[in-house]
């Protein structure tokens, strides 16, 4: 059997969902028998080297780079999965939604209680830096998403079962208790 090719990324996320992927524990050996990882922090491949079957997206889109990466994933993956609450509904980063960006930046770089040494009151604006979006967008509001695996993080069992079912082309057999929003 050909191995399914999987790519993963973390956009505006905390890598908790990736940790949860690793939480499948020894089953990772089983997984490696059926999937081959491409672009992913797991194997540190930075760019797509081939078209993938499945893309796992952690985190929503908070800046221009996230959007580019997400679109790149959409172009290169047959199936795109939003992994975790941030990818699905913005999550913790989306708590800034509704607050003007200027205010957010000033809080972060100028007036906030943790700001110590920014006497020149510089708000980073180097052209190399990604530009913030007006709000944090859930992934499906930017590109079409095929599946959602909720949770903060999604339970390892959920990721495992869903991934194996997709790879093997089987019906997903997901028990009630693995789908949780927290």
Partner 1 sequence: MMGATVDTILSKYRHDSTRLMDILIDVQDEKSCISDDTVKEIAKGLKISMADVEQTLSFYHFFSKTPTGKYTVYLNDSVVAFMMGREKIAKAFEEAVGCKFGEVTADGLIGLFNTSCIGMNDQEPAAIINNRVFTRLTPFRVKELVKDMKAGKDIDEMYSAKTGDGNNSHELVHSVVNNHIRKEGPILKTDVRQGEIIEKITKMTPEEVIKEIKDSNIRGRGGAGFPTGLKWEFCRRAPGKQKYIFCNADEGEPGTFKDRVILTEKAKLLFEGMTMAGYAVGATQGILYLRYEYKYLQKYLEDVIEKAEKAGWLGKNIGGRKNFEFYIRIQFGAGAYVCGEESALIESAEGKRGEPRDRPPFPVEKGYLECPTVVNNVETLCAAVKIMKYGSEWYKSLGTAESTGTKVLSISGDCFHPGVYEIEWGFTINNILDMVAGFNVQAVQVGGPSGALIAPNEFDRILGYEDLATGGSLIIFNESRNILKDVVLNFTEFFIEESCGSCSTCRILPVVMKDKLVKILNGLGVTRDIDDLLEWGKILKASRCGLGQTAANPITSSINNFRHLYTSLLKTKKDYETGFDLNLAVQEACEATNRIANV
Partner 2 sequence: MYQTIKIIIDGKECIAKKGQYIVEAAKENNIYIPTLCNIEGVKPKGACRICTVKVNGRLMTACTTPVAEGMSIESESAELTDLRRSIIELLFVEGNHFCPACEKSGECILQALAYRYSVMAPRFPFMFPIRELDASNPKIIKDHNRCVLCKRCIRVIKDDEGKNIFAFKKRGHKVEIIVDPESADKFTDELAEKAMEICPVGAILVKGKGFKKPIGQRKYDLMPIGSDIEKVSKSKKAVL
Point out which residues bind partner 1 (CB under 8 A).
Answer: 64, 67-68, 74, 100-102, 105, 123-125, 127, 131-135, 137, 140-144
Helix axes 27-34, 156-168, angle to 10 degrees: 20
In degrees, rounded to 5, the angle at the alpha carbon of residue 147 between the alpha carbons of residues 68 and 45 is 45
Tell me the site size for partner 2, rule CB under 8 A: 34
Cα diameter, the chain: 61
- DSSP assignment of 32-71: HHHEEE-SBTTTTB-S--S-EEEEEEESBEEEHHHHHHHH
Which does residue 162 touch among partner 1, partner 2, none (CB within 5 to 8 A, set by kind)? partner 2
Q: Toward partner 2, which CB reaches closer, 44 or 182? A: 182
**Which one of partner 2, partner 1, none interacts with residue 46, CB within 5 to 8 A by kind?**
none
Shortest distance, CB of residue 166 to partner 2, whole angstroms? 10
**Displacement of CA 90 from its chain's centroid (Å):** 10
Q: Are 98 and 135 in contact (CB under 8 A)?
A: yes
Compute CA 167 distance to the chain's CA centroid, rounded to the nearest angstrom: 20
- 90 touches partner 2 by CB under 8 A: yes
Q: Between 21 and 86, whose beta carbon lies closer to partner 1? A: 86
Contact with partner 2 (CB under 8 A) among 5, 85, 159, 160: 85
Please enumerate in sequence order all residues whose Cβ is within 8 A of that of 157, keeping only pairs 6 or more positions apart, or say none: 24, 178
Which residue, 7 or 178, is less far from partner 2 as judged by CB?
A: 178
Q: 62 or 83: whose CB is closer to partner 1?
A: 62
Please say which residue, 38 or 70, places its beta carbon nearer to partner 2: 70
3 state SS of 1: coil
Binding residues vs partner 2 (CB under 8 A): 82, 85, 88-92, 94-95, 97-99, 135, 138, 140-141, 145, 147-150, 152, 162, 172-182
């Amino acid at each position: 059997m050909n191995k399914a090719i999987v790519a993963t990324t973390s956009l505006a996320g905390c890598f908790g969902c990736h940790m949860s992927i690793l939480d499948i524990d020894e089953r990772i050996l089983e997984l490696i028998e059926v999937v081959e990882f491409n672009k992913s922090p797991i194997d540190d491949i930075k760019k797509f080297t081939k078209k993938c079957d499945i893309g796992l997206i952690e985190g929503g889109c908070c800046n221009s780079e996230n959007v580019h990466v997400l679109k790149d994933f959409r172009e290169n993956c047959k199936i795109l999965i939003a992994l975790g609450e941030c990818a699905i509904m913005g999550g913790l980063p989306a708590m800034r939604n509704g607050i003007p960006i200027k205010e957010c930046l000033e809080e972060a770089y100028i007036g906030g209680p943790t700001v110590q040494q920014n006497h020149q009151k510089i708000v980073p604006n180097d052209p190399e830096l990604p530009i913030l979006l007006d709000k944090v967008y859930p992934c499906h509001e930017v590109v079409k998403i095929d599946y959602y695996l909720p949770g903060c993080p999604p339970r390892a069992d959920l990721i495992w079962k869903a991934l194996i079912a997709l790879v093997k082309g089987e019906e997903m057999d997901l028990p009630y208790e693995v789908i949780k929003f927290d």
